[in-house]
Structure 1
Amino acid sequence: MKEHIDQKATEIKNNLQEVFHGLNEIVAKINNDDLALTAGEVSRSIHEPFMFVIVGEVKAGKSSFINALLGSDKEICKVAPSPMTDTIQQITYGEDRVEIINPFLKKIYQPVEILKDISIVDTPGTNTIVDHHQEITERFIPSSDLIVFVFEAKNPYRQSSWEFFDYINTDWHKKVIFVLQQKDLLPIEDLTININGVKAQAEKKGIAEPKVFAVSAKQELEHDTENSGFIELRKYLEENITGGQTPFLKLLSSINSGQQILARISAGIQDRKKQYELDKEFRKEIRETLDNQEDKSIKQVDSLVENLLNAYDRVTLTKLNELSDGLSILPMFKRSFSSMIGSTKSVKDWLAELQADLEKNLNKHLKDKLQDGVVDIADSIQNMAKIVDLKIKSSTTVLRDNHEIFSDIAERRANVLKDLQETFSSFLSRSENYYDDQIMGNSNMTPNLAAGGGIAVVGVILTAVTNIAVFDITGGILAATGIIFAGFSLGLKKKKIVKSVKTEIDEGRTRINEEISEKLEAYIGRIKTKIDENFEKFDQLLVKEGVALESLIAKEKDLENKMSTYKTEIEEYLKTVV
């Protein structure tokens, strides 16, 4: 039967090696040194004997308790009035020798029968002031299989002990038994009160049916076994741990520790995923802001062009009607006859005056409309950048650089965000970022960039662009009209002249509609693109983070499923052999 149990335990252990190899891989990718150390210890522990870890305050009697439990006449753990245990001592089966593992850990080999099934770890006191002791003890706990919490029988309520218990119970859910040492120093009534007090405190902290043993190492070492309390303790250990179940309990303990590491990773992943989702939402809001502001600006361009065309139509229609009336036969005859006797303007002078008046009225009315419209469009483009700047500065951070698991990821994100803030602030302040050769075309009417100062230069640029466009368009109409007037003699029909002028006016109208709309809409689009290009590194971070999270989540779930499967297999098997 024992051979079959050992074979089954070896089979599951071999399978678990692959699982713990996967655990070490995922921890290595996380790049967290403390977690890597813990995972490595837990992975190695499946090949170690069942491990008792003895914890408690200095002078609680831990070393004496271990000597008594081992039943050896030799003082394996030194006992002294002052604290002597300045390292972790792991006591295991073997020929009598001591092996120094590192400055804080040594192995003591002893040919004691009970050590064939278990190893015992003696730790520094939880209230010790010696540097590194508590840190090392905490690192040793994850690979332990049973925590033996030793209290001084006359005072089992010291704060440091129960704070350390909270760490063990909350973070690692280890199997714990409680020992009240030096019971020979208390009357039975006081001892009973303290036993019940420890039980109540343990239950309050979530331990169901806590196991509390009162012992006296002194009485046990003096062979007063009937009164020492070690008979009850050894019976419990035999029935629950050392009675053939040890290999499987060891594997269950390792799995539980592995699951606790995965739970910490999973909690960290949730924080990281929350940050990733917030960052994706932040990036979505940026794009929506840019799209909305672009739509708003384009609508303002449409409104501007509509107002320009209305003004253009009113001015040109008035002058076209005036031209048509003036070209009638009677007015033309009177003007020609009067000019000969010097009493009125000639036809040529009248046409030149008409043309000059058209130019004056177009420039006045169109520039008035441009002034109001350009201000609105410039404000909208400026707001596009300003809103984005505010959103960058107010972006939400939940993954801090002191995060337990992903501090390096948080730091990397913080650096990218800081770089984005600095880059965008610089972008806003540089006037040349808003100058656009494409919108200015070949014109030598370059706006004074210094006049605007950063993003405020947008209004200067738009004013220059629209004035250039209107100047070109109205100038072209007037030039063409002058040619038409000069090319027609009085003998030609009025309708042909009016029709030709109207054609030039219509073409000018089309050019206002197309050139101003196209130029301004293209400019708005290019500014939007320039703003969005500031997010290139942030977008790269999001892509990498999405891929990394997907891989981490898949591996974490796979490892958890495998650990749960082997845990269930062991528990079911134990039911058949116990």
Structure 2
Amino acid sequence: MAKLLDAELQATRARLEEIIKNLHELTLRIGHEEMAKTVSDLRNRIFEPFMFVIVGEVKAGKSSFVNALLDTGQEIAKAAPQPMTDTIQQILYGEEHREVMINPYLKKIFLPVDILREIAIVDTPGTNTIVEHHQEITEQFIPASDLIVFVFEAKNPYRQSAWDFFKYIHGDWRKKTIFVLQQKDLANDFELATNLNGVGEKARKEGIEQPQVFAVSAKLEQEKTGVSGFGPLREYISENITGGKAPRLKLNNSIVTAETINERIADGLVLRRRQFEADTEFRREIGETLSDQSAQSNKQVDLMVENLLNTYDNITRQKLEELRNGLSMFGLVKRSFASTFGSTPNAENWLSNLATGLEADLNTKLKARLNDNVIDLAESIQQMVKMIDLKIRSSATILQNDHELFSDIAERRENVLRDLQDQFNRFVSNTDNFTDESIFADRENLTPNIAAGGGIAALGVILAAVTTGSVFDITGGILTTVGILFAGFSTRGKRKRIVDGFEAEIRTGRAKLAADLEEKLKTYIATLRRRIENNFGRFDENLQREEKNLAILEGTHQEIRAELTTMGATMTDQA
């Protein structure tokens, strides 16, 4: 039965190593070096014995406690006279006593002590040590630990730095912890009872339901005099850890630690996903705003064309009526008779004056109508640009650049957004972005006022140039044709041809005016929208990259979570 149990544990340990390997690859993909090292250490240490990590403040008596617990009669864990020269000491089983310096801050000690066949002990510097790197190295041992032994001075177990470190251990890593009040020989019975109750109560407030608190004296234990308190502690270790239970407990602890790391990644991924969704929504709103505002501007173009055509129709209708009346037989006779006496222009001159009047009316009234409508259209386009600018400035930041795991992702997003803001500011300020080469083929048509206006402020002038050019290209064509029709008029036989020709040219001019003006303005709006969209190129690339990365990271996390959950359930069934 024992062999079967060993085989099951070995298979579980091998499977757990594979899962932790996948977790390590996940941390590498995330790019978090510290967490990757933590997971690598966890993977390496699942084959080591059950690990006690001894923590507490400087001068709490940790090293003396370790020496008394091992009971070798030797000073194995040496307390340095000054904290700044102290090191972490990892004590392991070995056939002979030897010491190996791993680095200036870590020493491994091998001892032929039976209890070390089942457990390993790590003696750490004080949690309040001033030595550089000591606490961070101590923290590297915490994730792979199986039991934290928190050592306090029996006379004063309430130092804040020690309890702050306990919050890190228990809150961040959910590590099983027992509490030891060392140097009980220095406290009287009242102090000891008070502090035993005080530590228990404080531990309960920090979330430990049934805290295990022991009062010991390493001095009395090593001198073999008096009641040292090590008996109840050794009994607890024997009943709960040693005697063949340690390997299974260690596997359970390793599963919990792996779950803790994986869930910490999950918490960060939740924020990344929320940021991605917020950015995706922001980008959707930008597109929606551009579509809505472009549609609104296009409606204003339709209204502008309609108003312009109404004015055009009123002018040409009046001139057509005047032409018809003037070309009537009565009108011609009257003009011929009157012209003999020099009081009325002859027919050819009269037609020329009619054309001149048409030109003057078209110039004056169409231009006035255009100016009124251009202002409204310019304000509509300005509103579109300003709304985009406001949305960029108010983009929600959920993942902060000081995030524990994803600060680099947050910083990259922040840089992309800042570049977008700067780029869009430059875009809005540059007049060239609001002009169109296809509309302004001849750059000389642009007045100096455009450049002087600067960027979006020049929209009114730019649109006026677009519309004015469109209108008078058309009207000029009508007048040229009408002039040809009127030229050489001498007989009434040409009257019908002139009227019909005049009407045809009016219809042609009207259609061309509507089509040309609508096409130019709507093309202008579409071009401007496209140019605004181009500012979002880098932001869109970052969004696409984040979508792919999130899918991979979330998928891997979910697979690891499922495997660890299954393994935890299997371990419970086997217990």
Q: What's the TM-score bracket when you normalise by the shorter of the two chains?
A: over 0.9
Given that 1:6 and 1:247 are in contact with CA atoms closer than 8 Å, whether structure 2 keeps it comes out as no
Q: 1:102 to 1:550 in 2, by over 3 A?
A: same
Partner of 2:481: 480
Which stretch of the first structure deviates more once superposed, 524-533 or 233-242? 233-242
For 1:150-299, what aligned pairs fall within 5 Å after superposition? Answer: 150-224=151-225, 227-299=227-299
- Cα displacement (A) at 1:2: 3.0
Aligned to 2:117: 116
SS at match of 2:375: helix
Partner of 1:454: 455
Residue aligned with 1:155, SS? coil
Q: For 2:397, what is the secondary structure of its paired residue?
A: coil
Instruction: Please give the alpha-carbon distance, in whole angstroms, between the structure 2 residues aligned to 1:407 and 1:84.
Output: 32
Q: Encode CA deviations 1:344-392: one digit per residue, 9 max, x unaligned.
A: 2101111111111111111111000011111111222222222222222
What is the one-letter code of the residue matched to 1:270?
V
Secondary structure of the 2:92 match is: strand
Contact 1:68–1:217 (CA under 8 A) maintained in structure 2: yes
The residue that corresponds to 1:142 in the other structure is: 143
SS of equivalent to 1:143: coil
CA shift digits 1:53-111 (9 cap, x unpaired): 00111111111111111111111112466558711100000021001111111100000
User: Higher mean Cα deviation, 511-520 or 490-499?
Assistant: 490-499
**RMSD across aligned positions (CA):** 1.7
1:481 touches 1:504 (CA, 8 Å); kept in 2? yes
Tell me the equivalent position of 2:131: 130
Amino acid at match of 2:251: L
Q: Describe the SS at the equivalent of 1:119.
A: strand
Partner of 2:567: 566
**Is the 1:85–1:124 contact (alpha carbons within 8 Å) kept by the matching residues of 2?**
no
1:171 partner letter: D
CA distance in structure 2 between the aligned counterparts of 1:487 and 1:331, rounded to whole angstroms: 18
Q: Indicate whether 1:539 and 2:540 are aligned.
A: yes
- How far apart, CA to CA, are the structure 1 residues paired with 2:229 and 2:343? 141
Q: Residue in 1 aligned with 2:311?
A: 311
Counterpart in the other structure of 1:425: 425
Code of the aligned partner of 2:470: A
Q: 2:52 aligns to what SS in structure 1?
A: strand
Q: 1:488, CA displacement in angstroms?
A: 5.1
Q: Is the 8 A contact 2:83 2:130 kept in 1?
A: no
Greater shift in the superposed pair: 394-403 or 169-178: 394-403
TM alignment of 1:395-410, pairs within 5 A? 395-410=395-410
Contact 2:58-2:129 within 8 A present in 1 as well: yes
**Equivalent position amino acid for 1:340 in 2:** T
CA distance in 2, matches of 1:458, 1:174: 66
Pair 81,540 (structure 1): closer, same or farther in 2 beyond 3 Å? closer
Alpha-carbon distance, 1:496 to partner: 3.8
With over 3 angstroms needed to count, the CA separation of the structure-2 counterparts of 1:83 and 1:349, relative to structure 1, is closer
Letter of the 1:21 partner, please give it: K
Q: Which residue identity lines up with residue 337 of structure 2 in the other structure? A: F
CA distance in 2, matches of 1:487, 1:240: 122
Aligned equivalent of 1:86: 86
**Contact 2:348-2:489 at 8 Å conserved across structures:** no
CA distance in 2, matches of 1:451, 1:78: 81
Shift of 1:394: 2.3
Residue range with higher mean Cα deviation, 143-152 or 331-340: 331-340
Offset of 1:443 from its aligned partner?
A: 8.1
Check whether the contact 2:84–2:129 (CA below 8 A) recurs between aligned residues. Answer: no
Letter in 2 for 1:408: D
Q: Output the amino acid matched with 1:194.
A: N
| 1:173 partner letter | R
Q: Is the 8 A contact 1:451 1:460 kept in 2?
A: no
Please show how residues 364-443 of structure 1 align to structure 2 within 5 Å.
Answer: 364-441=364-441
Q: Runs of 5+ in structure 1 lacking a partner?
A: none
Q: What's the TM-score, normalizing by structure 2?
A: 0.96
Contact kept in structure 2, 1:59 and 1:83, CA below 8 Å: no
Instruction: Say which SS state the counterpart of residue 400 (structure 2) adopts.
Output: coil
Report Cα offsets for 1:196-236 as digits up to 9, x if no partner.
11111111111011111111212221234x72222211111
- Cα contact 1:51–1:118 (8 A) shared by 2: yes
Deviates more, 1:134-143 or 1:523-532: 134-143
Identity %: 53
Partners of 1:84 and 1:399 in 2: how far apart? 38
